[in-house]
Chain A
Amino acid sequence: SYVLTQPPSVSVAPGQTVSLTCGGHNIGTKSVHWYQQKPGQAPVLVIYDDNDRPSGITERFSGSNSGNTATLTISRVEAGDEADYYCQVWDSTGGHFVFGTGTEVAVL
């Protein structure tokens, strides 16, 4: 089955830029979506189709996807960005959706 690998955690200082990776075989051929989940809350879609932002999502969130790695970049990080972030794709071979393992972002 298709596997998406994310680093378990990352730390970043306020005002800095952080890049969260999502690794998968030939992921560049798929559409990648990213979700933010804060403790005790439902996830929120922050990037869809590799690099599109839903209405209401700050432009500080951006995405890219190529080769075997997709990336979510958060610019000018704020304390409110502290959350778990999950990538997701549709695995056409298995006929199901796959979520990454998730990255916990800590703002120092």
Chain B
Amino acid sequence: VQLLQSGGGVLQRGGSLRLSCAASGFTFTNYPMTWVRQAPGKGLEWVSGISAGGGYTYYADSVKGRFTVSKDTSKNTLYLQMDSLRAEDTAIYYCTKGLPATHGPIGAFEIWGQGTVVTVSS
């Protein structure tokens, strides 16, 4: 089981970026996925989640309306489209494979990608 991330970079405030997370070693359509970020020197912050089939999406208040999560099942790839970026979006972004849930729509974050750095300059 592996999650391979790509798409990070440095960009200016107000810009857009799309992160990718290529999944392998498991049936992509059977598991929910999420994005988690970590600002420099800070703790973990959940960003977004998507159901196994892709029909339901969830967002943190801090990114709602600016970020869009999606799954391309033909490519076994998870995406995070980030628009109207702000300096406070600067962080390492991790994609994760979720477990089926006992409470809520997505269970624990079982597998994590290697992370990709997003830097937004003001």
Listed in ascending order, the chain A residues whose CB lies under 8 Å from chain B are 30-31, 33, 35, 37, 42-45, 48-49, 54, 84, 86, 88-90, 92, 95-102
Contacts and interface: CB of A to CB of B under 8 A. Distances in A.
Interface residues of B, number: 28
Contacts of A35: 44, 109
Contacts of A31: 101-104, 107-108
B46 A92 contact: no
Interface of B: 34, 36, 43-46, 49, 58-61, 94, 99, 101-115
Given A33-B109, A42-B115, A90-B101, A99 B60 contact: no
A17 to B, nearest CB: 24
A92 B104 contact: yes
A74 to B, nearest CB: 18
